[in-house]
């Protein structure tokens, strides 16, 4: 099966064993971003949309859409205090990023993910100090440091990459790191 260009994963770079804190955080976050794309690599639109581990409604496309929203939330809304509206969910449809994949434009969603990741890399790079403070405004307002955002993003990707690994194995038996 020909690989769709939009889902092609970049080559993952192993994070360094010794580096500055910032270089280490950037490397691990990029490793996990690439891991998610690698779980989608080579699949067609139908497989990317497929909920392969019933009764869960998770799909690989849903995970990509969700992580697009997570990137957008922490780097744009929280760190920059930007009014970045949700792309895939709403107050009336809180799980739209996961649930509304049946008719989604897969190519557009992968392009959006890649663009959002690039925007978030640029935002992070503009903040030299890991102690830069943003505001989490969900439920209660909390100060959050850029360091916390990095660690949380790595945790969020790691958790969902575990889901992606299981979904991919259920689709075609492919496993891996």
CA distance linking residue 130 with residue 116, whole number of Å:
20
Q: Would you call 27 helix, strand, or coil by DSSP?
A: helix
Has this prediction a pTM greater than 0.95?
Answer: no
Q: Which CATH class is domain 29-172?
A: mainly alpha
pLDDT for residue 141? 83
Q: Residue range 118-126: average pLDDT? A: 97
Domain ranges of the chain: 29-172
CA distance linking residue 4 with residue 107, whole number of Å:
9
Whether 52 contacts 171, CB under 8 Å? yes
CB environment 70-96: b (16+ within 10 A), e (fewer) = bbbbbbbbbbeeeebebebbeeeeeeb
CB environment 142-163: b (16+ within 10 A), e (fewer) = eebbbebbbeebbebbeebbeb
Q: How does pLDDT run across 75-94, given as a tens digit for each residue?
A: 999 999 999 999 999 999 99
Handedness of CA 142, 121, 151, 20 (dihedral sign): negative
Q: How does pLDDT run across 127-140, given as a tens digit for each residue?
A: 999 999 999 877 78
Q: How does pLDDT run across 4-60, given as a tens digit for each residue?
A: 445 566 788 899 999 999 999 999 999 999 999 999 999 999 999 999 999 999 999
pLDDT for residue 176? 77
The structure tokens 């910032």 sit at: 22
């Amino acid at each position: 099966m020909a690989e769709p260009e939009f889902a092609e994963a970049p080559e993952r770079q192993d994070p360094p064993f010794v580096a500055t804190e910032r270089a280490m955080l950037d490397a691990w976050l990029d490793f996990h971003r690439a891991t998610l794309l690698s779980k989608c690599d080579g699949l067609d639109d139908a497989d990317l949309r497929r909920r392969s581990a019933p009764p869960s409604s998770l799909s690989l496309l849903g995970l990509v859409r969700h992580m697009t929203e997570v990137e957008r939330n922490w780097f744009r809304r929280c760190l920059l205090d930007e009014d970045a509206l949700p792309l895939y969910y709403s107050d009336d449809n809180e799980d739209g990023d996961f649930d509304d994949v049946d008719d989604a434009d897969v190519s557009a969603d992968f392009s959006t993910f890649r663009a959002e990741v690039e925007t978030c890399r640029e935002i992070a790079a503009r903040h030299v100090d890991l102690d830069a403070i943003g505001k989490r405004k969900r439920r209660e307002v909390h100060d959050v440091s850029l360091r916390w955002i990095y660690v949380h993003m790595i945790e969020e990707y790691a958790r969902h990459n575990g889901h992606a690994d299981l979904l991919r194995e259920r689709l075609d038996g492919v496993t891996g790191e």
